Structure 1
Amino acid sequence: MCQHHQNQPSDDANSQPPPDKPVYNDPFPWHLGAFDAHCHPTDTMSSIASLATLNTRVLTIMATRSQDQQLVADVASEHGITDSASITTSSSDTVSPRKGCKVVPAFGWHPWFSYQLYDDSIPNPTYNPHNTEDPNKSTEQDAKIAHYKAVLSPTPQDQSFLSSLPTPTPLSALISSTRQYLTSFPLALVGEIGLDKGFRLPQQRLPDDDSSRDESLTPGGREGRLLSPFRVQMQHQQAIMQAQLRLAGEMGRAVSVHGVQAHGVLYDTIAACWKGHEKKVLSRREKKRIAPGAEESSSSDDSDSSSSKNMPTTEDRTKKKKKAGGKPFPPRICLHSYSGSADMLKQWFHPAVPSTVFVSFSTAVNMSTDGGKTKLAAVVRAVPDDRILVESDLHVAGGEAEALLEDMYRLVCEIKGWDLETGVATIGANFERFILG
């Protein structure tokens, strides 16, 4: 989600930066299917009309806050995919690309807006308007201010700023409404969720700002406001994220995860959800005792071969989703616009990790700073071929987003040493496994 906050450059990579523009000059094979793994076009609803003209086959549209949950649902009701046929390539697509784009919805609460929620599952929640010795005194405003003082750092003292913030919403209400959205859309994801150490709240909107507000933008975003010094405490972000991770596990849904300046704590927070469910890692001696072929037959649910003859049927996927549900962690995770180091990816791909982890890259984020450009090649090479995805991460649909998506497809293919058709087909198969399992 790039319009609010820009990733900070990193100094932990020494690899040769990729070119600013891909050097492959071959025509882009849109007919094979290009997929945007993470974007926010409902931030600019007028751009949704462009879906009818796009070459991109599927956009994965993220919800982030109170103002866009229903918008994502509305777009998915009209343009959403209903089965794998919207993702896979048919014989009629091999000559020319299909015009018109479908969407996969994702419902979640972004860490930038986590301060607007309070955890009502704990004994002493940060927001409690009924906690007063005088039942005749209205304490909603006092309780709101107490909540924001508890979850923001440094502690705000400006009463005007505190009063301008919305009345917090109970976390249980978010989980309940998200569960309803996921039930209504059986292929929907949980997202965008995550952690962000760098984000600061925007300053309050002044009365004069309302008259100059851009009405084409969905409310709730930064909209050009200067940033305050206040950040959301990491412990609070973790509580909001883990509740959504548990919901994803319960319903067997994939998640799209945001992580900025918090790569270590992000891993620890997610790993805490799967503690006790790790896969058994066999020693060399144990592997030698296993009959040939037995390891393959006992592999995890999400490690399907990308070969078309081995692709699971719709019935197989239904059984798999039922089996994947009911766990405290999501079956599949996408680290979107991943900005960490190549070395930090090793923990995510450890054989004991019970979730299938994908990594996605965008021109808008990964090529936005010199630091990002410098380490991109090493990071892309560190991602297994069957776990890499591509995204735009833009807040608008249309030609700009599609061009940036194509640029990142080409960059990934260059770095991986793939020709375009091989790379597009590989990423398409990865996207199908990420969405459908």
Structure 2
Amino acid sequence: MLPSSVLKHIIDCHCHPTEAASISPDSMQQLQISVCAMSTHNKDQSLVRSLAHDYPHKIIPAFGYHPWFSHFIALRSGISKRNHYQQLFQPTPESSPDFEDLFPHLPEPISLDDVLQDLRSNFASSSSPPILGEVGLDAIFRVPYDYHASPRRISSFAIPLEHQIAVLEAQLDLAVELGASVSLHSVKCPAATLDLFNRLKRKHQDRWSRVRIDIHSCSMSPDSIKQLQACKSHPNIFMSVSTTINGRSRNLRSLITTCLPDKLLIESDYNAIEPSTSQCLEILGIVAEVKGWQIETDWKEEDTDGAVHRLEANWKAFLGRA
């Protein structure tokens, strides 16, 4: 374990502590790193807000609506539950029995206008500058009957990518307006992600470049991330890695090698606070080995070539505080 003088400069840039059944005061007292706590749907925005309020020096709040829950969001107000989900999933005669089986498990939709108002409220009331997250796109997700059940029963229905894009674009428009950094989920849709970035660049011009975006637990190919970061239109793209997700991929080391050294972040992507530190130290070790960076054993402000110094500087740049 690294000394506390070094640990306090490590940032877990993406995790989900409020998904745990509870967060004990002892675990928060023992936490020596900083963590960026993601929200994902309408039930956990307030949990993240409360956690950041209680531990402002350890928790960076992130407010946003995850693509896995984007089917809960109606693009127009006043639509009935049945009409919303029928229009979204377009059940055929063959799939109609499956739709009727799933329908009772689906919540009443919330309007996109209400989502954006909720985000505005959370950003305005946050004691520390929040980021937008977790938001994004996912081309392979299938809707579960109950996301929180174990084991999780999965339906045959996917959330149309066009709907996900509409929900994401509205949230990114808000990030541009507020100057917020973004933690982005992008799974199996690099072309759609780049197309959206290009459209937002045309829409917002220079304001788009001032919004920093982290593609978290990046599952893109090294070629895709190289294309994004080499693109002059998108100098604002960062990438973070975790052993939780990226550890399963043979591309992890080549992805780290490809990523620009000043655009790289680390994360745990863990759904409990206790393992956050060990998970971050594990991915820190891999990043340092691949990049040829030394990990500091004590903290000296002038040691700017150290791995933790570099990653902390990247985090500050991601937040726009460099």
CA RMSD of aligned residues (A): 2.0
Q: Which runs of 5+ in 2 are unaligned?
A: 297-305
1:364 Cα deviation after fit: 0.3
> 1:145 aligns to what?
82
Quick one: which of 31, 34, 51 aligns to 2:10?
A: 34
Q: d(CA) in 2 for partners of 1:200 and 1:153?
A: 14
Q: d(CA) in 2 for partners of 1:273 and 1:223?
A: 39
TM-score, normalised relative to structure 1: 0.66
Q: d(CA) in 1 for partners of 2:209 and 2:161?
A: 20
Establish whether residue 175 from structure 1 lines up as the match of residue 116 from structure 2: yes
Q: Which amino acid aligns with 2:102?
A: F
Quick one: which of 34, 51, 56 aligns to 1:80?
A: 56
Could you tell me whether the CA contact under 8 Å between 1:249 and 1:329 is conserved in 2?
A: no
1:48 Cα deviation after fit: 4.9
Query: Residues 434 and 29 from structure 1, CA distance in 2 versus in 1: closer, same or farther, beyond 3 angstroms?
Result: farther
> 1:15 aligns to what?
none
Query: Residues 262 and 222 from structure 1, CA distance in 2 versus in 1: closer, same or farther, beyond 3 angstroms?
Result: farther
Query: Residues 340 and 78 from structure 1, CA distance in 2 versus in 1: closer, same or farther, beyond 3 angstroms?
Result: same
Q: Which runs of 5+ in 1 are unaligned?
A: 1-26, 82-101, 129-142, 205-219, 280-326
Query: Residues 241 and 222 from structure 1, CA distance in 2 versus in 1: closer, same or farther, beyond 3 angstroms?
Result: farther
Q: Which amino acid aligns with 1:51?
A: M
Deviations 1:241-276 (A, max 9, x none): 000000000000000000111122112122211115
> 1:401 aligns to what?
276
> 2:255 aligns to what?
379
Q: Which amino acid aligns with 1:417?
A: G
Q: d(CA) in 1 for partners of 2:226 and 2:114?
A: 36
> 1:419 aligns to what?
294
Q: d(CA) in 1 for partners of 2:89 and 2:279?
A: 35
Q: Which amino acid aligns with 1:31?
A: S
> 1:238 aligns to what?
165
Could you tell me whether the CA contact under 8 Å between 1:107 and 1:191 is conserved in 2?
A: yes
1:163 Cα deviation after fit: 2.6
Alignment of 1:202-221 (within 5 A): 202-203=144-145, 221=148
1:61 Cα deviation after fit: 0.3
> Alignment partner of 1:243: what SS?
helix
Percent identity, aligned pairs only, is: 31
Query: Residues 376 and 268 from structure 1, CA distance in 2 versus in 1: closer, same or farther, beyond 3 angstroms?
Result: same
Q: Which of structures 1 and 2 has the bigger CA Rg?
A: 1
Query: Residues 55 and 403 from structure 1, CA distance in 2 versus in 1: closer, same or farther, beyond 3 angstroms?
Result: same
Deviations 1:41-76 (A, max 9, x none): 0011523531210221x1000000111000000011
Query: Residues 256 and 222 from structure 1, CA distance in 2 versus in 1: closer, same or farther, beyond 3 angstroms?
Result: farther
> Alignment partner of 2:230: what SS?
coil
Q: d(CA) in 2 for partners of 1:162 and 1:436?
A: 43
> Alignment partner of 2:223: what SS?
coil
Q: d(CA) in 2 for partners of 1:170 and 1:426?
A: 41
Q: Which amino acid aligns with 1:151?
A: L
> 1:66 aligns to what?
42
Could you tell me whether the CA contact under 8 Å between 1:331 and 1:354 is conserved in 2?
A: no
Deviations 1:97-138 (A, max 9, x none): xxxxx0100000000000000112xxxx7x62xxxxxxxxxx
Query: Residues 231 and 276 from structure 1, CA distance in 2 versus in 1: closer, same or farther, beyond 3 angstroms?
Result: closer
Q: d(CA) in 1 for partners of 2:60 and 2:166?
A: 26
Higher relative contact order (CA 8 A, sep 6+): 1
Deviations 1:173-208 (A, max 9, x none): 01011011111125100110000011111125xxxx
1:29 Cα deviation after fit: 5.2
Q: Which amino acid aligns with 2:140?
A: G
Q: d(CA) in 1 for partners of 2:108 and 2:195?
A: 30
> Alignment partner of 2:272: what SS?
coil
Number of residue pairs the alignment of both structures matches: 304
Q: d(CA) in 2 for partners of 1:337 and 1:168?
A: 29
Query: Residues 328 and 415 from structure 1, CA distance in 2 versus in 1: closer, same or farther, beyond 3 angstroms?
Result: closer
Alignment of 1:117-156 (within 5 A): 117-120=73-76, 128=79, 143-152=80-89
TM-score, normalised relative to structure 2: 0.88
> Alignment partner of 1:201: what SS?
strand
Q: Which amino acid aligns with 1:115?
A: H
